[in-house]
Amino acid sequence: MSKAADVTRENFENEVLGSDVPVLVDFWAPWCPPCRAIGPEIDAASEQLTGRAKIVKLNVDDEPEIESRYGVRTIPTLIIFKGGQPVDTIHGAVPRRMIVERIEAQIGA
C-alpha cells in the first residue's frame, strides 16, 4: 500500500489544482513494471516532503481523461503542479533524490 494518496476525477481539482502547496502527481498503472519500481521512491519522497508538498497517485487506467488532458503518453510520468498549473514533468522511473530536488525547486520558487 502506497503512502501517497490516490486521486480520481472526483477529487483531482480539490487535491491537485486547489492545493496551496506544490503537488506531484504520479501517473501510473498497476500492470506497469517501472511504475511499481518507482513506488518506493515515491513513498520515500512523500515522507520526506510531508507538510511542504503533496504527492499523489493517479491510475491512468481508471482516469484516462485526466491522463489525456495533461498529455501523458508514457508511464510513469510525474507532473508537478503549483498554483493549479503543471510546472515540471519527469518521465520514467527516477531516484528519490531527483524527485525531491524537482519538488523542492518549486517549493522555493
Active site residue 12: no
- For 97, list phi and psi in degrees, rounded to 5: -55, -45
Active site residue 43: no
Nearest to 4 by CA among 91, 92, 96, 68: 96
Catalytic residue among 23, 24, 35, 93: 35
Catalytic residue among 19, 21, 29, 32: 32
- For 38, list phi and psi in degrees, rounded to 5: -80, -15
Distance CA 76, CA 26 (A): 7
Q: Catalytic residues, which ones? A: 32, 35
